[in-house]
Chains A and B, each alone.
Chain A
Amino acid sequence: MAFVLNVPEISEDHDREPSPYDENEVHDSFHQLIQEQSQWAELQLRELGAGAPGTSDRGRQAPLGPEDAAAPSTATLRILASMPSRTIGRSRGAIISQYYNRTVQLRRRVTRPQLGGAGRSARPSLRLYDLELDPAALEEEEKRSLLVKELQGLTVAQRDHMLRRMPLGLAEKRCLREESRTLTGKHRGGRGQRGLFPCCGQLRDTCVLVLHSLGLGLLAGLHRLMPWHYALKRIGGQFGSSVLSYFLFLKTLLAFNALLLLPVLAFVVGVQAAFPPPASLGSVPAFTGLELLTGGGRFTHSVLYYGYYSNSTLNQPCAPPDGGQCGPESPSLPYNMPLAYLLTVGVAFFVTCVTLVYSMSRSFGESYRVGSASGVHAVTVFCTWDHKVTQKRASRLQHDHIRTHLKELLAEWQLRQGPRSACGRLRQVAALGLVWLLCLATTLGCTVAVYAFSELMIKSPVSADQEGALLALPAVVCLLNLGAPYLYRCLATLEHHDSPVLEVYVAVCRNLILKMVILGVLCYHWLGRRVGALRDQCWENFVGQELYRLTVLDFIFVLLDTLFGELVWRLISERKLKRREKPEFDIAGNVLELIYGQTLTWLGVLFAPLLPAIQIIKLLLVFYVKKASLMANCQAPRRPWLASHMSTVFISLLCFPSFLGAAVFLCYAVWQVKPSSTCGPFRTLDTMYEAGKVWVRRLEKAGPSVSWLPWVHRYLVENTFPVYLVSALLLAVIYLNIQVVKGQRKVICLLREQISNEGEDKVFLINKLHSVYERKERSRTERGRGAPAETQNVSRSSGRP
């Protein structure tokens, strides 16, 4: 049955395309078609009579939704099954076509398309999608040969890259590779030499291959060097990605500390250890065990602290007084210690800053997606199962967590559908406000306590044999850092958040405020008060020792917290409370502990150059202790954990309050504070920065060959204008990026609407097809029924004599 579409011809312009102004004509023709069909359908119904009352619905021509469509015929199903959107996920031919398209795009980006092959590849889309019900194997072969031809046009590395990304089996990929390789060989041989170019091409290919295999070898070697591969695999298998993110963060911190330690070790500590200063006047105290905790005593006059470093040029070339010659063993390479100290610490910090900002921006780029806040149900169902988990018990736990999470999501969704009472909202806001107020009050209380205690320590100075009393302030600080988060957790049970992820962020925020404020008070105490109080002594050594004490005591308290927080709690909950649940591993709290420890290291590098080494040892020990405690005592957290979001948050927290605060402290100490006059490499100067200025002045006097360095120093470092310029540029770039993202969001909305409209078209066409085939079937069965009746009539009529 053919339907003819009657579009009335426009009398004036025959060659003009129907414009939107002529819409009425176009719609009228459809209207005519629809009317025709509905009349025809009514006819059919009358003919069929009361035989099939259920078919009255099928006469309606309004587009039905897919749920309303009754079982479509097999022909319709076959067409549906070969729709491009459905075959792309399934058939090999469709995958080959899709990747043929991608290869063409890639090649077109790389080189200009060859003129010879333009005919065949001109409209690939038409060749790829055809409406035959039985796609012949020949079609697939054609598509395959097209793909092979395209692959030849790529370089070897690109070809391998393309092949690797294809979702085909290994055997298929091997065939494609062989074919594209052999045909390339034939191609090259047939073309003939054209001067330099084939040689260059071959050389380039060989270079690429060599680099590729080198890169693979390097990657494999690096993989071998990665420590703790098996331990991390076990942790991931038993607890999932969330707990694993803590241990990966620990590894990152180890890398940062190594980055800080190596230059300091090479340029400052190593050199000073090779040229030790003259022995100090007083006697060296004997080694007692207390030094390991307090950092004083035997360790005071050692490479560990600032005071040991000399303020002169080491390895000075000899200056014979009477103009004679120096002996043969005179050294020839002078080493300006103050300058080296300042520059090494400065450069190490700069490199750390650049690395931090780079890793933060990369992590942010990976974890931020436009429109990621919506679609939480689909994302939960498709993306939350962690395939790393291999233990049966952990797998069961994951099932439970996902089920609970899905139920929570559904409950939240129901809640959002229903109207919110103003009373409920007010109560929620009031509870939130109250809890925040209490937490901030606790923080204030802790701060005041630390401040008062530090003032007390200044007022009552400690004598040399009572060094144990110096541990009091660090112990108080660590105790407060340990106890206050538990208090916050208790207070947090009073409030109720809409989303569980927000609870984690709020807890992290409160913890962080406490730690940073306490560290701020301590910094003021050191740079503001101690400098004045220890005027004739070595205040830098004291600050270095304080930071050493804080680091060591922090480690001890972490051990105690692990012991009591996890082991004892598990024993109590198993024996006394008879619960089989183990305590949850508090990821946020533990990560903040790590960030706090790293801040201490960054604060202390200027005054105790070997502090990063101590931090490395501490991190190694913490890894093993936490791993053992985790395996024995804990279970994975119940709350959903967006691992990549939280990694981004942690590295941003490492950068912003932690590193930035340490950098500000360092800048203030270098630029504004007068170094002590009895020890250290900056003894005779007004500020530490003057060492650099002195050197620049010396360079100026040295001659015109290095005059660019003082020029750079005067106009770029001391001048504030470049800083303003760079900040303005950065702000402009950020603003532009924000606008681009906003524009992309709008485009995504528009595209969604368009796809939705296309979907409606699709449903309409499917229903049309369905009705067409239905009618075909019905008319065929009718004809079949009518024919035997006719033959009967014929036989009857012929049978009549």
Chain B
Amino acid sequence: MGGSGSRLSKELLAEYQDLTFLTKQEIILGAPDAHRRATSQPPPGLGAPLAPAAHRRFCELLPQEHRSMEESLQIRVSLEQILSLPELKANPFKERICKVFSTSPARDSLSFEDFLDLLSVFSDTATPDIKSHYAFRIFDFDDDGTLNREDLSQLVNCLTGQGEDTRLSASEMKQLIDNILEESDIDRDGTINLSEFQHVISRSPDFASSFKIVL
């Protein structure tokens, strides 16, 4: 079952299973050892056990002396450490994702439960409804409850890449945003609110499978 820091009580585990979309395996450790994970060697062949899951991964981000069970549930991990997770490193929305799920007042650190929320929303079994709700919050860069032109242009810049030469030209950007608003802004107020966003998402059956992070 692993080291001392990875044992969650049964009631807590049952509660997490009931309130999130994660399974028991995804919350606690499966079978492998942390050493192999740390040296990032791939596990062997067909009989490979499941990759280590949320609690173990979270504990790996904490300093050694704080890895006991009680502390791991209460301590908060800074954004930089979460952003260093391999699953998030290459994601252009990583800062927004961490900000949206953070419950600290300054929105700059994540507790274990925030981390579980993140994994639950990005898991396989989460409903498209909840995924689209959080996708909207992630894309809403200025947190005003709607996607206006600045939000959309920032979104497109995130998608096309970080370099200067990878961005779309100004006229292309304007045309693209006009087209997007034309297609999705049903009440013609110049912004896309949550219902309109969810309506657009419902037209794409691929959204649920692409809005997934596998730990």
Chain A contacts to B: CB under 8 angstroms: 65-67, 81, 85-91, 160, 163-167, 169-171, 173-174, 177, 213, 216, 219-220, 223-224, 227-231, 233-234, 236-237, 241, 366-369, 371-372, 374-379, 381-392, 394-396, 399-400, 402-403, 406-407, 410, 413, 642-645, 752, 755-756, 758-760, 762-763
Contacts and interface: CB of A to CB of B under 8 A. Distances in A.
A236 B90 CA distance: 14
Contact of A171 (B18, B103, B144): B103
Contacts of B197: 89, 382
B8 interface: no
Given A89-B194, A388-B214, A403-B168, A170 B180 contact: no
Contact of A241 (B135, B137, B200, B206): B206
Nearest to A766: B189
A387 B94 CA distance: 10
Given A66-B189, A369-B203, A406 B160 contact: yes
A174 B50 CA distance: 28
Given A642-B206, A763-B188, A378 B183 contact: yes
Interface residues of B, number: 85
A387 B210 contact: yes
A177 B20 CA distance: 13
Given A67-B190, A86-B144, A375-B183, 7 more contacts: A216-B23, A229-B51, A230-B50, A241-B206, A369-B202, A381-B180, A406-B159
Contacts of A369: 202-205
A236 B189 contact: no
Given A90-B145, A388-B212, A382 B175 contact: no
Contacts of B207: 382-383
A86 B18 contact: no
Contact of B193 (A88, A163, A367): A88
B191 to A, nearest CB: 8
Nearest to A374: B183
Interface string B17-49: 111110111000010000000000011001010
Contacts of A381: 152, 155-156, 159, 176, 180
Contact of A89 (B136, B166, B200): B136
Interface in B157-176: 159-161, 166, 168, 172, 175-176
Given A165-B129, A388-B214, A220 B25 contact: yes
A170 B172 contact: no
Given A220-B24, A383-B210, A760-B188, A165 B200 contact: no
A89 B179 contact: no
Contacts of A377: 176, 179-180, 183
Contacts of B20: 164, 170
B209 A216 contact: no
A71 to B, nearest CB: 14
Contacts of B129: 165
Contacts of A67: 190
Contacts of A759: 186-189
A164 B19 contact: yes
Given A160-B19, A392-B90, A759-B186, A643 B166 contact: no
A224 B31 CA distance: 11
B17 A88 contact: no
A374 B186 CA distance: 13
A239 B124 CA distance: 18
A128 B140 CA distance: 24
Nearest to B103: A169
A756 B179 contact: no
User: Which of A66, A213, A387 is most buried by chain B, counting CB atoms within 10 A of its CB?
Assistant: A387
Contacts of B15: 174, 177
A88 B17 CA distance: 27
Given A220-B23, A402-B159, A391 B195 contact: no
Given A165-B130, A400-B161, A406 B214 contact: no
Contacts of B30: 224
SS class, residues of chain A in contact with chain B: helix
Given A90-B145, A372-B203, A223 B25 contact: yes
12 contacts: A89-B133, A164-B20, A167-B133, A169-B114, A220-B25, A229-B48, A375-B184, A381-B180, A385-B159, A389-B90, A395-B91, A759-B188
B62 interface: no
A128 B6 CA distance: 43
Nearest to A232: B214
Nearest to B148: A66
B187 A89 contact: no
Contacts of A645: 205
B187 A762 contact: yes
A375 B187 contact: no
Given A89-B137, A230-B48, A170 B19 contact: yes
B76 to A, nearest CB: 13
3 pairs of A and B residues whose beta carbons are closest in the complex:
A759-B187, A86-B145, A395-B90
B140 A89 contact: yes
A378 B180 contact: yes
Contacts of B51: 229-230, 233
B70 to A, nearest CB: 16
B92 interface: yes
Given A86-B144, A399-B159, A171 B203 contact: no
B71 interface: no
B105 interface: no
A124 B32 CA distance: 52
B80 interface: no
Given A170-B20, A375-B203, A390 B87 contact: yes
**B19, B114, B200, most chain A CB atoms within 10 A:** B19
Contacts of B21: 164
A244 B156 CA distance: 25
Interface centre among B92, B190, B206 (most CB of A within 10 A): B206
Contacts of A644: 205-206, 209
A759 B187 CA distance: 4
Given A223-B23, A379-B204, A406-B168, A756 B188 contact: yes
B213 interface: yes
B179 A413 contact: yes
Contact of A85 (B18, B23, B195): B195
Contacts of B141: none
B90 A230 contact: no
A387 B124 CA distance: 12
Contacts of B89: 390, 392
A371 B183 contact: no
Nearest to A66: B190
A224 B195 contact: no
A380 to B, nearest CB: 9
B20 to A, nearest CB: 7
B201 interface: yes
Contacts of A66: 189-191
B72 interface: no
B176 A410 contact: yes
B9 to A, nearest CB: 14
B145 A216 contact: no
B82 interface: no
A216 B24 contact: yes
B143 interface: yes
B98 interface: no
A170 B159 CA distance: 30
B58 to A, nearest CB: 13
A385 B114 contact: no
Contacts of A177: 15, 18-19
